Amino acid sequence: MGGGQEFEWKLGQMIMVGMLLMVGCFYAGTLYANNATIYASQLSSSSSPPSPGTSTFTNKIALTYRKTPPLIPETGINVCPLNLNEYIPCHDVAYVKTLLPSLDTNRREELERHCPPIEKRLFCLVPPPKDYKKPIRWPTSRDYVWRSNVNHTHLAEVKGGQNWVHPKDQFWWFPGGGTHFKHGAPEYIQRLGDMITNGTGDLRSAGVSQVLDVGCGVASFSAFLLALDIQTMSFAPKDGHENQIQFALERGIGAMISAIATKQMPYPSSSFEMVHCSRCRVDWHENDGILLKEVNRLLRSNGYFVYSAPPAYRKDKDYPIIWEKLMNLTSAMCWKLIARKVQTAIWIKQDDLSCLQHNSEQKLVDLCDAGDDSKSSWNTQLRNCIQVRGAQSDSPKLPSRPERLSVYSESLSGKGVTQEVFSLDTAFWQDQVQHYWRLLNVNKTEIRNVMDMNAFCGGFAVALNDSPTWVMNIVPASMSNTLSAIYNRGLIGAFHDWCEPFSTYPRTYDLLHANHLFSHYKNRGRQGCVMADILLEMDRMIRPQGFIIIRDAETITARIQDLAPKFLWEVESHTLENIEKKPETVLI
Ligand SMILES: *[C@@H]1O[C@H](CO)[C@@H](O)[C@H](O)[C@H]1NC(C)=O
Ligand SMILES: *[C@@H]1O[C@H](CO)[C@@H](O)[C@H](O)[C@H]1NC(C)=O
Ligand SMILES: *[C@@H]1O[C@H](CO)[C@@H](O)[C@H](O)[C@H]1NC(C)=O
Ligand SMILES: *[C@@H]1O[C@H](CO)[C@@H](O)[C@H](O)[C@H]1NC(C)=O
C-alpha cells in the first residue's frame, strides 16, 4: 500500500500529539519498602489500613472477566488473585486443554498461541508474586536473578546436570551451560565459528549478525553471542521445561514465547544469518520437512542452519534414519552440509536457483507459487514449499553492526517511506531519546528490556543502541511490513496484533514505548483492542515501577491520563515536539 494511511502522522497533519510518561507503579513504594507487601495485607483483609508510606488504593481483588464493553469499576481495575501472577492469556494451559480435541497434536499445534475468546479473557491487573523484587540489573543479571521472581525449581532439577541453572542462596545462578554446551556457551560459540570458517575466524567474521535461537532454554547462547555484537531472537514454547522464557527475560536477554509448529513464525522472511537448534525438541524430519522450509524462509541467503542434536552424531536408535531423512530434505532444498563435528552439523542455505529448479522438476521439492512473501507473517499457515526469491532480490550484502543500523531498505520505498523520511525519522528519534532520558531521570542501568510497540522503521531502537538495553521492535500486523527493514538494520522484533495479548510473561519489560499505537487501533472495529484492553496488557507486561511512554493525539492522551490511576499508574504529562516540530503531549 503505497504511502498507506497508517503513516499519515509521519506525513504531517495538524494534530497535536502528546506523550505520557508513566510509572507502571503497581503498589509503588510498598513492594520494596517493607517486606509485607500491601498485596498480602489486602488479601487478608481488604479493609486493612495501608501500611505507612504507601499510597492508598481502592482496587478490589477479584477474578474478573472481560465484559463487552469493558467495565472499569469506580474503585479502579480489579486486581487478579495472587495465584494468577504468571498469567499469559494466549498460552493458558487450562484453556488449551479444552481445545485439544481440535488441535493437530502430531504437529504440536497445542504449543502455539491460542487466545481465548474475549469473554473468557481476564480483566484484572496481574499481581506480582510474593516477595517480588526489582530485577537485578544487567550485566549482573546475565549470571544471577532473584529466585523469588521466578520461583520454579523444575528447570534446575532437570537441567542442573547440564549446567543451565543452579539455585544459590536467594538467587538463581546461570553458569552459561546448555544441553550441548555443558562447558559453557563461549566455548561452543567458538567451536561453531571454527567449523564455519575452517578455523580461520569466528561467527562474526563469518558474517553472522542476527541469529534465531529455536528452543533457546534460558538463552545462554544469546547472552554470550552479545560479546560478538550478534543479536539473537530467542524463543521457546511454554511446555514441560517450565518458564525458560521467563528466566531469559529476567536475565535481560531478548526472548519470547513461541513454537514452530503449524504457522509461520512472526518474523519476516530473510532476516537471519543463522538459525540455531541445540536439542531444541523440534522434529525437523517430519511432515515432509515443512519446518525446515520455514527455516529456509527465515534465513538470509548463505545463512546457516546449526543443528546440535543426537541425529547429528549418534548411531543408535532411529538416529541414523532421521539423519538420512534430514540429508534428503536439506539437499532437496539445495542446502549444503558444510561441517559435521563433535555433536553439531551445519548447513548453508545457498540461493542456487538452477538446483532448485532441477529438484522441482524431479519432484523432490515444491516451489511456492510466485506469491508475495513480503507480507506480514502473522497467523499464516506454513507452506510446504520453497519461495524462490527472484529478481526482487532484496538481499544486498549487509554490513555488520553497527554500520547495519543505518541501512535503508529499498522495500521501504514501496511503502511510502523514502530515504528522506527514513533519515528524518532516524534523526528525530535520536533527539527524542535524549529527551526521554532527561524526563525519565533514572540511571541508564535501570532499563534493560524495552519494547517499542509500534516500531515503524526502528528509529527508536537505533537511538537506544548506545545504552545497556535491548529492544523488541513490534510492527502491528495490520500495518505495512516495515519489520523486514528493521531486521535489515540489525535489530530484532516481531509482528503482533494488539487486539490480542503478547506472548510474554508478566513483568518482563522495564520500558514500553507506544508511539501513535492507540490512534492506529482506535477505529479497528475489532474486539479486544479498545484502549482499556491495550492498557491492561501493557500493565501485564511492564514490571512494577517500570516506565511507559505514550505519545498520541491529544484526545487520546487525555483519556489515558484519566484512566491511568485506575491501573495504579502514576502519570506525568510532558510536551515534546513531534516530527513536524508541532508540540506533542508525552505521557510518562
Ligand atoms: C516458592 O514457592 C514455594 C512453593 O512452590 C513456596 O513454599 C516458597 O515460599 C516460594 N518462595 C518464595 C521466595 O516466594
Ligand atoms: C576446510 O579445510 C579442509 C582441508 O583444508 C577442506 O577440505 C575443506 O573443504 C574446508 N572447508 C571449508 C568449509 O572451507
Ligand atoms: C533418501 O533418498 C534416497 C534417494 O532418493 C532414498 O533411496 C532413501 O530412501 C531416502 N531416505 C529416507 C530415509 O527417506
Ligand atoms: C548507575 O548505576 C551503576 C551501577 O549501579 C553505577 O556504577 C553508576 O555509578 C550509576 N551512575 C550514575 C550516573 O548514577
What is the per-residue pLDDT across 444-482, written as a single tens digit (0 to 9) for each? 999 999 999 999 999 999 999 999 999 999 999 999 999
Q: Tell me if 443 CB under 6 Å of ligand 4.
A: yes
> Which residue's C-alpha comes closest to atom 14 of ligand 2?
198
> Which protein residues touch ligand 3 with a CB less than 6 Å away?
321, 324-325, 328
Angle 176-181-187 from CA coordinates, rounded to 5°: 80
pLDDT at 5: 32
Extents of the domains making up the chain: 88-120, 182-362, 405-587
Q: Tell me if 200 CB under 6 Å of ligand 2.
A: no
pLDDT at 164: 77
Burial annotation 490-502 (CB, 10 A radius, 16+ → b, else e): bbbbbbbbbbbbb
pLDDT at 48: 33
Q: How far is the CA of 443 from the centre of ligand 4 (A)?
A: 6
Nearest ligand to residue 147 Cα: 1
Alpha-carbon radius of gyration of the chain:
24
Please give the torsion angle defined by the CA atoms of residues 490, 493, 495 and 498, in that order, rounded to the nearest 10 degrees: -140
Which of 328, 329, 358, 364 is the best mutation target for the ligand 3 pocket, counting ligand atoms within 8 Å of the beta carbon and taking the most?
328
Cell, residue 497: 496484533
Pick the closest to residue 131 from 170, 87, 96 (CA basis).
Answer: 170
Q: How far is the CA of 464 from the centre of ligand 2 (A)?
A: 40
pLDDT in tens, 239-248: 765 788 999 9
Q: Do domains 182-362 and 405-587 have the same CATH topology?
A: yes
> Which residue's C-alpha comes closest to atom 13 of ligand 3?
325
Hey, which residues does 231 pair with through a beta bridge? 210
The topology (CATH level 3) of 405-587 is Rossmann fold (3.40.50)
Distance in angstroms (rounded) separating the CA atoms of residues 385 and 284: 15
Nearest ligand to residue 341 Cα: 2
Distance in angstroms (rounded) separating the CA atoms of residues 587 and 583: 13
pLDDT at 395: 59
Q: How far is the CA of 178 from the centre of ligand 1 (A)?
A: 25
pLDDT at 585: 63
pLDDT at 179: 64
> Which residue's C-alpha comes closest to atom 6 of ligand 3?
328
> Which residue's C-alpha comes closest to atom 10 of ligand 2?
198
Hey, which residues does 585 pair with through a beta bridge? 575
> CB–CB of 402/462 below 8 Å?
no
pLDDT in tens, 153-211: 777 777 766 777 888 889 999 887 666 677 789 999 999 999 999 999 999 999 999 99
Which atom, in ligand 1's list, is nearest to the CA of 170? 13
> Which residue's C-alpha comes closest to atom 11 of ligand 4?
443
Q: Tell me if 140 CB under 6 Å of ligand 4.
A: no
Question: What angle, 0 to 180 degrees and rounded to 10, lies between the N-to-C axes of helices 531-541 and 554-563?
Answer: 60
Positions in the chain whose pLDDT score sits under 70: 1-56, 160-161, 177-180, 240-241, 371-373, 390-396, 525, 579-588
In terms of DSSP H, where are the helices of 46-184? 93-99, 154-159
Which of 324, 327, 331, 359 is the best mutation target for the ligand 3 pocket, counting ligand atoms within 8 Å of the beta carbon and taking the most?
324
Distance in angstroms (rounded) separating the CA atoms of residues 339 and 34: 57
Distance in angstroms (rounded) separating the CA atoms of residues 260 and 113: 11
Looking at domain 182-362, its CATH architecture is: 3-Layer(aba) Sandwich (3.40)
Q: In what order do the strands lie in the sheet with 166-168?
A: 144-146, 171-173, 166-168
Q: What are phi and psi of 251, to 5 degrees?
A: -75, -15
- Strand, coil or helix: what is 301? strand
Distance in angstroms (rounded) separating the CA atoms of residues 542 and 536: 10
Question: Quick one: which H or E segment has residue 493?
Answer: strand 493-496
Nearest ligand to residue 447 Cα: 4
Which atom, in ligand 4's list, is nearest to the CA of 444? 1
Nearest ligand to residue 200 Cα: 2
Pick the closest to residue 494 from 482, 505, 508, 510 (CA basis).
Answer: 482
Q: Which residues contact 473 (CB under 8 A, 6 or more apart)?
A: 452, 455, 458, 461, 483, 486, 491, 492, 493, 494
> CB–CB of 428/579 below 8 Å?
yes
Torsional class of 43: left (φ above 0), alpha (ψ -120 to 50), beta (otherwise): alpha
Please give the torsion angle defined by the CA atoms of residues 405, 409, 414 and 418, in that order, rounded to the nearest 10 degrees: 60
Which atom, in ligand 2's list, is nearest to the CA of 199? 1
Q: How far is the CA of 261 from the centre of ligand 3 (A)?
A: 24
> Which residue's C-alpha comes closest to atom 5 of ligand 2?
198
Pick the closest to residue 473 from 411, 373, 485 (CA basis).
Answer: 485
Extended beta strands in 332-418, E state? 335-341, 344-349
Q: What is the identity of the amino acid at 460?
A: F
